[in-house]
Amino acid sequence: MDSPLFPASQPFDRRAWPMNGRLDFWHARDGWPIRRYRLGDGARGRLLVINGRGDMIEKYLELIDHMARRGWAVTAFDWRGQGGSGRLTDDPLCGHIPDFADYITDLRDLARDWRADGEGPTAMLGHSMGGHMLLRALSEGMTQPDGAILTAPMLGLHTGPMPRWLAVALTRLMLWRGLGDRRAWTQKEESERQRRMRQKRLTHDPERYADEIWWRDHSRDIALGPPSWSWVNQALESTRALEQGDGLSRIRCPMLILAAQTDQLVSTAAIRRFAARLPTARLHVYGREAAHEILRELDPVRLDAFARIEAFLDETAR
Range of the domain at 272: 22-316
Report yes or no: 46 and 122 within 8 Å, Cβ to Cβ. yes
Which one-letter amino acid corresponds to residue 56? M
Residue 19 in this model has a pLDDT that exceeds 50: yes
**Alpha-carbon distance 208 to 213, whole Å?**
9
CATH number at residue 175: 3.40.50.1820
Note the pTM of the prediction, 2 decimals. Answer: 0.95
What is the per-residue pLDDT across 40-80, written as a single tens digit (0 to 9) for each?
A: 999 999 999 999 999 999 999 999 999 999 999 999 999 99
Does residue 15 lie in a domain region?
no
Residue 79 to residues 93, 106, 182, Cα–Cα distance (Å): 14, 8, 19
Does residue 6 lie in a domain region?
no
Contacts of 104 (CB under 8 A, 6+ apart): 133, 136, 137, 140
What is the per-residue pLDDT across 216-252, written as a single tens digit (0 to 9) for each?
A: 999 989 999 999 999 999 999 999 999 999 999 999 9
Confidence (pLDDT) at 18: 96
Residue 190 in this model has a pLDDT that exceeds 80: no
**Domains: count for the chain:** 1
Confidence (pLDDT) at 25: 98
> Are β-strands 281-286 and 72-77 bridged in parallel, bridged antiparallel, or unpaired?
unpaired
Neighbours of 141 (CB within 10 A): 10
Q: Which of 107, 140, 137 has its CA nearest to residue 28?
A: 107
What is the per-residue pLDDT across 110-133, written as a single tens digit (0 to 9) for each?
A: 999 999 999 999 999 999 999 999
Does residue 251 lie in a domain region?
yes
